Amino acid sequence: MRLIAAQSPLDAALVALADPTRRAILRRLTKGEASVTEIAAPFALSLNAVSKHIRLLERAQLVERRRSGREHLLSFNPSPLDDVAGWIEAQRAVWTARLDALDAMLTAENRARARTQTKKGRYR
Amino acid sequence: MKTETIRVTRRFDASAERVFDAWLDPERAAKFLFAMPGGRIVRAEIDARVGGSYCFVDRRDGDDVEHTGTYLEIDRPRRLVFDFLVPKYSTVATRVTVEIAPLGTGCELTLTHDGVAPDYSIRTEAGWNAMLEGLASEASIVSA
């Protein structure tokens, strides 16, 4: 299977963040620049496997790479996380809208009930 | 690294029982639960028992979107837990927990939606509609 081409930056960020190894890599990079070898050291994974994780993080622009002599140094770029935070906010807004709708429905039911009871001559 | 849980709290001027029941009555749930602006619920089915499932179909611009899931906990009127999946956009279910506590003459509802961030992505402004097809694809890239 191949990744769909029309992946938005947010898609890439969410995919990247969905994996615990990649989150661990990012946590490491929040402490400062590191080489691929340094990043791979704490993981029981091949260098190749770690490189694939790093490529996904780079595609999501969460990780940037620069060359220093023969070494590739990686650093953390937090800006795509703003999109993720924005998306989570959008989800919150959806639930808030649903609970608004629930409130409106309950209020309408209260009114309908009050009307019915008034018609029947009962007190509330 | 980042919170993946959404929590929303709301007070209602209605008893905990009434608020709870609204979630499990198809006719009433259709009015708020998966209704979205610009869409309307054309099908609402609820099998309100633990292990039972629900299905809501929202029609938007002639396009039908199914919201489905299974009830995991039903403890009237305090607590309702269900998982939630939009098969059209995601292969991974997320979990919604509704907790209701009596408060004065009404009640307070706290909704928690877990596992949101890794499973969904935005493809429309509504944000809700849009999910990620990528987890399976992504797994195959990593292991490729």
- Chain A residue numbers with beta carbons less than 8 Å from the beta carbon of B98 are none
Q: State pLDDT tens for residues A96-117.
A: 889 999 999 999 998 988 888 7
B12: nearest CA partner in chain A: A103
- For the cut 70, the answer to whether the pLDDT of residue A73 exceeds it is yes
Instruction: Report the pLDDT value the prediction gives residue B136, as an integer from 0 to 100.
Output: 26
A101 — contact with chain B (CB < 8 Å)? yes
- For the cut 50, the answer to whether the pLDDT of residue B138 exceeds it is no
Considering CB atoms only, which of B118, B122, B137 is closest to A90?
Answer: B122
Q: State pLDDT tens for residues B61-89.
A: 788 889 999 999 999 999 999 998 888 77
Instruction: Report the pLDDT value the prediction gives residue B122, as an integer from 0 to 100.
Output: 31
Q: State pLDDT tens for residues B19-40.
A: 999 999 999 998 888 766 667 8
Which stretch of A48-62, A106-120, B101-115 has the lowest confidence by average pLDDT? A106-120
Instruction: Report the pLDDT value the prediction gives residue A109, as an integer from 0 to 100.
Output: 92
- Chain A residue numbers with beta carbons less than 8 Å from the beta carbon of B118 are 14, 17-18
Which stretch of A85-94, B14-23, B126-135 has the lowest confidence by average pLDDT? B126-135
Of the two residues B60 and B120, the one the predictor is more confident about is B60
- For the cut 60, the answer to whether the pLDDT of residue B141 exceeds it is no
The distance of B92 to chain A (nearest Cα, Å) reads: 12
How far is the C-alpha of B103 from the C-alpha of B123, rounded, in Å?
39
- Chain B residue numbers with beta carbons less than 8 Å from the beta carbon of A92 are 6, 8
Q: Do B22 and A102 touch (CB under 8 A)?
A: yes
Q: Do A1 and B133 touch (CB under 8 A)?
A: no
Q: Do B113 and A91 touch (CB under 8 A)?
A: yes
Side chain identity, residue B61 = D
Q: For B130-133, which contacts have Cβ atoms below 8 Å and span 24 or more sequence positions?
A: B130/B89, B131/B86, B131/B88, B131/B89, B131/B90, B132/A11, B132/A14, B132/A15, B132/B89, B132/B90, B133/A4, B133/B89, B133/B90, B133/B91
